[in-house]
Chains A and B, each alone.
Chain A
Amino acid sequence: GIQVEQSPPDLILQEGANSTLRCNFSDSVNNLQWFHQNPWGQLINLFYIPSGTKQNGRLSATTVATERYSLLYISSSQTTDSGVYFCAVEQDGGTSYGKLTFGQGTILTVHP
């Protein structure tokens, strides 16, 4: 099956700093989503971005499908950005339509 690797595994920032999270995947994808998991375990949808670039406030994401990676940018980080960020992909051409394979996540801690 498809492999998904996220980096870095841990990231510690001061409030106001910018950061870039990376997601590499081993095969072609139909779907790529970024999630933020809050301390209660809820997965919050950030971006649905199989290709191209999107922006939502202080967050933006870029997926370069031909090179098999995606980037999540967080600007002017706030303490409420703390949590785990997951990248998840749906492999193209597989038999499991819609099945998401998740990376291991990036644990982000933002200090005031």
Chain B
Amino acid sequence: DTGVSQDPRHKITKRGQNVTFRCDPISEHNRLYWYRQTLGQGPEFLTYFQNEAQLEKSRLLSDRFSAERPKGSFSTLEIQRTEQGDSAMYLCASSLAWQRSSYEQYFGPGTRLTVT
């Protein structure tokens, strides 16, 4: 399967614990995005990378959230000191991009986080 993959698919954690999610984009894609989706809403942008550079972070991304893409391939999203409000589906997407132009985004299956 050459699509976007995410791991784990489901995560249940207790409030206050740290969690880390992984995303493997489509191999030739240089741009990688993270989105968050809560129940009944459309996905909302969190952050994106062009190769290994993190170019923007949404105001939704509090200081407890950090994302990396160390070698321009896979990416990790870490949430520290989780809160119940962090419960959501975390979606990763990737695309080709050239300078200001970006192309079709493809999404992974998501990681569903439940904070108890």
For B41, list chain A residues within 8 Å (CB).
Answer: 104
CB atoms of A43 and B33 under 8 A apart: no
CB atoms of A98 and B109 under 8 A apart: no
CB atoms of B89 and A41 under 8 A apart: yes
CA distance A74 to B33 in the complex (A): 29
CA distance A45 to B3 in the complex (A): 12
- Known contacts A30-B101, A43-B91; decide if A96 and B45 are in contact (CB<8 Å): yes
Number of A-B contacts (CB under 8 A): 65
For A63, list chain B residues within 8 Å (CB).
Answer: none
CA distance A2 to B57 in the complex (A): 17
Which of these, B42, B101, B112, contacts A102 with CB under 8 Å? B42
Interface residues of B in 11-63 (CB under 8 A from A): 31, 33, 35, 37, 41-45, 48, 55-56
- Known contacts A98-B97, A104-B42; decide if A30 and B109 are in contact (CB<8 Å): no
Any chain A CB within 8 A of the CB of B82? Answer: no
A73-103 contact mask (Cβ, 8 Å, vs B): 1 or 0: 0000000000000101010000111111111
CB atoms of A48 and B104 under 8 A apart: yes
Identify whether the interface residues of B are mostly helix, strand, loop, or mixed: strand
CA distance A82 to B45 in the complex (A): 25
CB atoms of B33 and A98 under 8 A apart: yes
- Known contacts A99-B33, A104-B42; decide if A41 and B109 are in contact (CB<8 Å): yes
- Known contacts A41-B109, A96-B56; decide if A101 and B45 are in contact (CB<8 Å): yes
Residue among B41, B97, B105, B109 with max Cβ neighbours from chain A (10 Å): B105
CA distance A34 to B102 in the complex (A): 16
Specify the chain A residue showing the minimal Cβ separation from B41.
A104
Any chain A CB within 8 A of the CB of B87? Answer: no
Which of these, A95, A100, A103, contacts B45 with CB under 8 Å? A100
For A42, list chain B residues within 8 Å (CB).
Answer: 107, 109-110
Any chain A CB within 8 A of the CB of B75? Answer: no
A-B pairs, top 8 by smallest CB distance, nearest first, are A102-B42, A98-B102, A48-B104, A43-B107, A99-B45, A41-B110, A42-B109, A102-B43
12 contacts between A and B (CB under 8 A): A30-B102, A31-B104, A35-B107, A45-B104, A48-B103, A86-B43, A96-B56, A97-B102, A98-B102, A99-B48, A100-B33, A103-B42
